[in-house]
């Protein structure tokens, strides 16, 4: 046994030396090259509020050996992402791409931080930490994606499946445009019989909608609009909808404007249809913030009376939680409706809807369901009282806001109200 000890020491020394040698080689491999990896982040400098925004990461190995890496992205603090990492093996001069989605829930600036990378060679005996400065600030604006989506739905033939209603035009609110050939689906009452007899083929009169009507989105910024659904406040739902609605109105040939208020008047952009109007509205919507005060409807009425001279469509985004709050505003709403076409848009609570129709198993569930049904019924009573006073009303869930406001606008256009 004593005879074998020197051999064991010799073998141990060889193994130790080999390990030290491999470690030294590994250190040289890992720390060779000032920038063994190059990382690029691709993200739009303007993100869309409430929508999924794609972020891409591209990693390139710039040295002549394989690298095993683990990458920690510098997520914005608001994402609350701490555990997700990206890893893999990169061969020499090869690249890998990763992507993830970011859904911002508030407007404003978001900061992406530096990227942290831990790299190892093929021996896994040493590691190296690299910090790559990719700090950048992006801005979150009202959703342009929703704007484009609803523009396509309204002006393309996709209305039925999307929830956009096809409403038959009533009354005579159109201007003559031209005489053209009849195509299948045209209204027979529009046939021009004189032109038909001359051409010996069916001809119809084509009319265009009356245009250049003033349309205002009026946004309540009081504390009632701070309530959140799916992480987005009612104010932000109203802002996204106002952007979509203003774009549709401008595309329809009408003039779009914007008013915001709480205890004071915030933004007032006169209705216009010039080329830069959409950009002005978007910038103004980006800067809106909820105020923790009650809405001043008297001030709103006085401002509109002074500033909006022509008969206009007023789309008022607000949120009446009680009949008392609605009745307090009613005198001013009625006055506005006398000179203009007022549409009051307020919100049904989707969470209450779930509670009202939940499976009842306990006494607590019965209590919750009963209270929820009572609150839902109260919202319906508010809508009914507004309609009894001659005020157009849209009671909607937050997710259906844009669809329902567009449908109301198209309905009013078809009836010849605007």
CA dist., res. 270 & res. 284, Å (int): 12
Mean pLDDT throughout 334-363?
Answer: 84
What is the predicted pLDDT for the residue at 198? 82
Mean pLDDT throughout 316-327?
Answer: 93
Does 1 have pLDDT greater than 70?
no
CA dist., res. 27 & res. 102, Å (int): 37
CA dist., res. 100 & res. 53, Å (int): 8
Comparing 240 with 89, the larger pLDDT belongs to: 240
CA dist., res. 147 & res. 405, Å (int): 13
* The CA-based dihedral angle spanning residues 219, 225, 228, 230, taken in that order and rounded to the nearest 10 degrees: -20
Residue 66 · residue 79 · CB < 8 Å: no
Does 159 have pLDDT greater than 50?
no
- Predicted confidence band at 175 (pLDDT cuts at 50, 70, 90)? low
What is the predicted pLDDT for the residue at 8? 74
- Predicted confidence band at 37 (pLDDT cuts at 50, 70, 90)? confident
User: By CB neighbour count within 10 A (0-12 exposed, 13-18 middle, 19+ buried), where does 215 fall?
Assistant: buried
Residue 34 · residue 110 · CB < 8 Å: no
CA dist., res. 294 & res. 264, Å (int): 10
CA dist., res. 107 & res. 49, Å (int): 6
Nearest partner of 259 among 314, 306, 214, 217, judged by Cα: 217
Comparing 328 with 292, the larger pLDDT belongs to: 328
Comparing 142 with 184, the larger pLDDT belongs to: 142
Nearest partner of 379 among 331, 318, 320, judged by Cα: 320
Quote the crossing angle between the two packed helices 401-415 and 234-251, to the nearest 10°. 40
E strand map for 103-173: 108-112, 115-120, 127-132, 136-141
What is the predicted pLDDT for the residue at 212? 77
Comparing 359 with 96, the larger pLDDT belongs to: 96
What is the predicted pLDDT for the residue at 413? 84
Mean pLDDT throughout 365-386?
Answer: 83
Over the stretch 394-416, which tens digit does the pLDDT of each residue have?
Answer: 999 999 999 999 999 988 888 77
Domains along the chain? 32-141 (2.60.40.10), 144-170+211-415 (3.40.50.410), 174-209 (no CATH)
Mean pLDDT throughout 274-298?
Answer: 91
Nearest partner of 297 among 267, 271, 345, 336, judged by Cα: 336
Does 141 have pLDDT greater than 70?
yes
Helix (H, G, I), strand (E, B) or coil at 282: helix
**Assign residue 303 a region: left if phi > 0, alpha if psi is -120 to 50, beta otherwise?**
alpha
The residues, any chain, with a CB within 8 Å of residue 127's CB and separated by 6 or more, are 30, 118, 119, 120
Strand order in the sheet with 265-272: 265-272, 255-261, 214-220, 312-317, 341-347, 392-396
Half-sphere exposure of 369 (CA within 13 A, CB side): 11
- Predicted confidence band at 170 (pLDDT cuts at 50, 70, 90)? very low
Does 171 have pLDDT greater than 50?
no
Within its chain, how far is the Cα of 352 from the centroid? Answer: 23
Tokens of 83: 């555990």
């Amino acid at each position: 046994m004593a005879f074998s000890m020197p051999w064991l020491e010799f073998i141990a020394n060889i193994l130790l030396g080999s390990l030290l040698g491999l470690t030294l080689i590994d250190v040289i491999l890992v720390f060779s090259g000032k920038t063994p990896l190059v990382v690029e982040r691709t993200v739009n400098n303007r993100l869309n509020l409430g929508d999924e925004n794609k972020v891409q990461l591209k990693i390139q190995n710039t040295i002549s050996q394989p690298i095993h890496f683990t990458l920690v992205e510098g997520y914005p603090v608001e994402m609350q992402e701490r555990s997700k990492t990206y890893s893999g093996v990169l061969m020499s001069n090869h690249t890998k791409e990763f992507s993830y989605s970011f859904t911002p829930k508030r407007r404003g600036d978001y900061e992406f931080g530096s990227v942290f990378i831990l790299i190892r060679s093929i021996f896994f005996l040493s590691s190296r930490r690299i910090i790559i400065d990719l700090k950048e600030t992006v801005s979150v604006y009202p959703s342009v994606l929703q704007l484009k989506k609803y523009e396509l739905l309204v002006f393309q033939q996709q209305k039925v499946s999307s929830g956009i209603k096809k409403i038959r035009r009533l009354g005579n609110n159109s201007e003559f445009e031209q005489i053209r050939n009849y195509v299948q689906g045209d209204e027979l009452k529009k046939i021009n019989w004189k032109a038909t007899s001359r051409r010996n083929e069916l001809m119809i009169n084509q009319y265009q909608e009356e245009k250049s009507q003033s349309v205002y989105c009026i946004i309540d910024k009081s504390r009632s609009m701070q309530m959140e659904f799916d992480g987005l406040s009612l104010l932000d739902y109203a802002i996204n909808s106002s952007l979509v609605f203003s774009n549709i109105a401008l595309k329809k040939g009408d003039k779009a404007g914007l008013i915001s208020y709480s205890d004071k008047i915030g933004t007032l952009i006169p209705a216009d249809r010039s080329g830069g109007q959409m950009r002005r509205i978007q910038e103004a919507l980006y800067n809106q913030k909820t105020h923790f005060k009650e809405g001043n409807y008297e001030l709103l009425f006085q401002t509109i009376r002074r500033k909006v001279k022509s008969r206009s469509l007023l789309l008022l985004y607000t949120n009446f939680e009680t009949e008392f709050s609605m009745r307090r505003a009613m005198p001013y709403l009625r006055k506005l409706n006398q000179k203009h076409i007022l549409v009051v848009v307020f919100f049904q609570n989707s969470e209450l809807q779930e509670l009202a129709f939940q499976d009842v198993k306990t006494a607590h569930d019965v209590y919750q369901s009963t209270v929820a049904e009572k609150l839902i019924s109260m919202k319906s009573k508010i809508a009914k009282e507004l309609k009894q006073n001659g005020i157009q009303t849209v009671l909607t869930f937050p997710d259906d806001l844009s669809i329902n406001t567009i449908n109301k606008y198209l309905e009013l256009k078809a009836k010849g109200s605007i």
